[in-house]
Amino acid sequence: MTTGRGEESSLPAGGPARHIPVLLADVLEALAPKPGGVYLDGTFGAGGYARALLAIPDVRVVALDRDPDAIAGGQALVAQAHGRLTLVNARFGALDEAARAAGFPALDGVTLDVGVSSMQIDEAARGFSFRFDGPLDMRMEQAGRSAADIVNGAPEEEIADILYYYGEERQARRIARAIVADREARPFLTTRQLAGLCERVAPAKPTQIHAATRTFQALRIAVNDELAELTRALAAAERALAPGGALAIVSFHSLEDRIVKQFFAERSGRGRAASRLLPGEPVPPASTFDHASAPVAPSSQEASANPRARSAKLRVARRTQAPALGLAGEWAKLARLPVREGQSGRKGARSEPRGGGR
C-alpha cells in the first residue's frame, strides 16, 4: 500500500511524497496476523501492507491492484516471498473471486486502502493531479473512459452531478456550465486546462484548498467507479472472510468513510432490537459482522511525518458465522448518482434531487 490515497488537498508542496503505508501499525493490530494465516491486501500499491504481513513467518498474502504499473513494480517482492505472495491484476470488488482462484476460499483478514495512490498522483502522465501538467486521464487501469472523455462528451447535468455528489463541489453547476461552453471552442486535453477553468470560474481564497481540488477528486471517482467498487468490495469481503476474520478499511474522505460506516452499522445490527419488532414484522437477518470498533485516525506524529495521511480513517469489524447478505442495504445506495427525468435506466442511479448551493 502507499500513502497519498485521498484528496489532493493533503499533498505536500515540496514534490513527490515517500511511499509510506498509512496507519500500518493499526492495520496490523486489527488484522492480528497469525502464522499460517491467509490475508488479502486489496490495494497493493507499493506493497507496504503486503510486505509487513509477509514479515510474519508462514503468513500467505493475496494482493490485488487494478493498476498494471503496480503489478509490474511488485514482481521483485513476489520473488522475495518465495511462493507466499500471490499478486493479481484485478479490482478489489472481485476479491473473493481472486482469492478462490489463488486457492484460498476463506481468508483470515482483508485490508483496503481506498483511493488513489501517491505513485499515481506523482506521475504527471497519469493525469491525476492538477499540480502537474499532463493528459487529462485519471484511469487507474489505463483503459476505458478517461476524465477527458467525461469532460468533453458528457451532458452538462451529468458533469454537474459528478462534481456535486463525488466532489462535494458547491460550484458544480457553474463549473459544469463553463466546461460545456469552453469545450465547444477547444476540447479539454490536459490537467492544466481544466485546473485553469476552475481557477477562473470558482476561484478559491488564499486560506482555502485549490479551486480544482474537488473537481479532480470527483472526476477521478467517476472515471474509476470508485464508490461503487468499494460497495462491491465490502460485499466480496463479507463472502470471502472466515468467521473471526477482520475487515480493515482505510479511507481518506467522507464519501468513502460514510459507505464503510453504514455498511458496518447495518451488518452488525447496530440500533436494532429484535424484541421491539411490530406484529408481523419480519425478523432481520443475522449480523454478518460484530460491532465495528471506533474509527482510528493517525497520530499527530504520523500526520506530521506523512502529510498525506492526515485525512485517513481506519474502521475495523470481524466476521461472524452468519451467511453473507450481498449488496442489499441502504449503504450500497450511497455510491449512486441521482436519476434525472428521462434517465431512469442510468446504471446505479439514485433518486435524490440535486442539492442546493450550485
3-state secondary structure 33-75: CCCCCEEEECCCCCCHHHHHHHCCCCCEEEEEECCHHHHHHCH
Domain-located, residue 333: no
Higher pLDDT, 342 or 297: 297
Q: How far is CA 303 from CA 17, 29, 137, in A?
A: 13, 19, 29
pLDDT of 17 above 50: no
Higher pLDDT, 273 or 312: 312
- At residue 152 the predicted structure's pLDDT band, cuts being 50, 70 and 90, is very high
Domain-located, residue 117: no
Domain-located, residue 214: yes
- At residue 284 the predicted structure's pLDDT band, cuts being 50, 70 and 90, is confident
- At residue 58 the predicted structure's pLDDT band, cuts being 50, 70 and 90, is very high
What would the pLDDT profile of 63-114 be if each residue is shown by its tens digit?
999 999 999 999 999 999 999 999 999 999 999 999 999 999 999 999 999 9
157: containing domain: 143-224
- At residue 272 the predicted structure's pLDDT band, cuts being 50, 70 and 90, is low
Domain count, the chain: 1
Q: Which pLDDT belongs to residue 89? A: 97
Q: What is the pTM of this model?
A: 0.87
Strand order across the beta sheet in which 38-41 lies: 85-89, 60-65, 38-41, 107-113, 241-251, 313-318
Least confident of 24-28, 148-152, 273-277: 273-277
Higher pLDDT, 276 or 74: 74
pLDDT of 187 above 60: yes
pLDDT of 226 above 90: yes
pLDDT of 4 above 60: no
Domain-located, residue 91: no
Domain-located, residue 243: no
Q: What percent of the chain stands above pLDDT 90?
A: 73
CATH number of the domain where residue 217 is located? 1.10.150.170
- At residue 246 the predicted structure's pLDDT band, cuts being 50, 70 and 90, is very high
Q: Which pLDDT belongs to residue 273? A: 59
Cα separation, 326 vs 339, in Å, equals: 23
Domain-located, residue 93: no
Q: Give 95's contacts (C-beta < 8 A, 6+ positions apart).
A: 40, 42, 64, 110, 233, 236, 237, 240
Give me the amino acid identity at 47: G
| Mean pLDDT, all residues of the chain | 88
Domain-located, residue 20: no
What would the pLDDT profile of 38-48 be if each residue is shown by its tens digit?
999 999 999 99
Higher pLDDT, 271 or 106: 106
Domain-located, residue 71: no
Q: Which pLDDT belongs to residue 9? A: 38
Q: Which pLDDT belongs to residue 131? A: 85
User: Mean pLDDT over residues 254-262, rounded?
Assistant: 95
